[in-house]
Structure 1
Amino acid sequence: MKIIIQHNSMVPIYEQLVNQIKSLILEESLKENEPLPSVRVLAKEIRASALTVKKAYDLLEQEGFITTIHGKGSFVLSVNKHAKRENLLYSTQEELEQVIKKARQAGISKAELAELVAMILEEEEA
């Protein structure tokens, strides 16, 4: 499992973890019943506190993405298609909001931003 944590980001580490693990589950890089690394192992890998990883796992469990079996570990749960689509729409919206914020800070107009998005979409379709 490849997790990249930006320690200098304004986004808390546990939130970065939750978002990345959710993405891996939703894009099916992590499959149903697949075990996640133990809290200690993942904490060591990402150079973070075990409590931070535990908090992320607890949130993922509350949201129905994983289950934790005492003494065995944490495992990926099945995600229904509707929930998957909703989650992807939500994360896309969040990312777009960040892009729009950056564009405004850079003085990019709505028209310029729309043109840029249209251009990128055309490139993706080719």
Structure 2
Amino acid sequence: MKILISNTSNLAIYEQIIRQIKDAVIAREIQEGEMLPSIRSLAKDLQISVITTKRAYEELEKEGLIYSVKGKGFYVTKQNMNMLKEKKVQMLEEELGKLAAEWKKAGLTKADMTDYIEVLFEEL
């Protein structure tokens, strides 16, 4: 699992970590029962505060995405993939709504946006 932190993102660093771990679980890059990097190890790798990493792990644990074993570390829980995907779709819908509003403010049409999205999908 590779986590990348962006200094230009509008998201807080701990939120970037949470999002990337969730995405990795949805994409099955991280499997049920797999151990995550330790809080200290991840903080060192990302060159961030241990407190930031701890906050991300605590939030993921509250959401039931991971669990901790005292003295051993954090592990991925068995997931309801449909629920995770639904949460991801909901988040993407919100982001798309914001983007659509920006396109409209820029004087672009729905057809312009649709054309652009089609081009992006072809490039993937």
- Per the TM superposition, whether the score is higher than 0.5 is yes
Question: For the residues of structure 2 that align with 1:54 and 1:105, how far apart are their CA atoms?
Answer: 39
Aligned structure 1 segments of 4 or more residues deviating by more than 6 angstroms: none
Q: CA deviation at 1:101?
A: 4.8
Question: For the residues of structure 1 that align with 2:49 and 2:101, how far apart are their CA atoms?
Answer: 31
Which residue is 1:115 aligned to? 115
Change (3 A) 1:8 1:101: same
CA RMSD of aligned residues (A): 2.2
Change (3 A) 1:13 1:104: farther
Q: Percent identity?
A: 37
Q: CA deviation at 1:69?
A: 1.2
User: Number of aligned pairs?
Assistant: 124
Question: For the residues of structure 1 that align with 2:9 and 2:21, how far apart are their CA atoms?
Answer: 17
Which residue is 2:40 aligned to? 40
**Residue aligned with 2:25, SS:** helix
Question: For the residues of structure 2 that align with 1:105 and 1:49, how far apart are their CA atoms?
Answer: 38
Which residue is 2:28 aligned to? 28
Question: For the residues of structure 2 that align with 1:49 and 1:101, how far apart are their CA atoms?
Answer: 36
TM-score by length of 2: 0.86
TM-score by length of 1: 0.84
Q: How does 1:4-23 map to 2 (within 5 A)?
A: 4-23=4-23
Q: CA deviation at 1:87?
A: 2.1
Change (3 A) 1:47 1:94: farther
Question: For the residues of structure 1 that align with 2:103 and 2:69, how far apart are their CA atoms?
Answer: 45
Q: CA deviation at 1:84?
A: 2.4
Q: Any stretches of 5+ residues in structure 2 without a counterpart?
A: none
Q: Return the letter of the residue paired with 2:51.
A: L
| 1:17-54 residue CA offsets vs partner (Å, 9 max, x unmatched) | 00000000111100000000000100011111000000
- 8-17 or 95-104: bigger deviation: 95-104
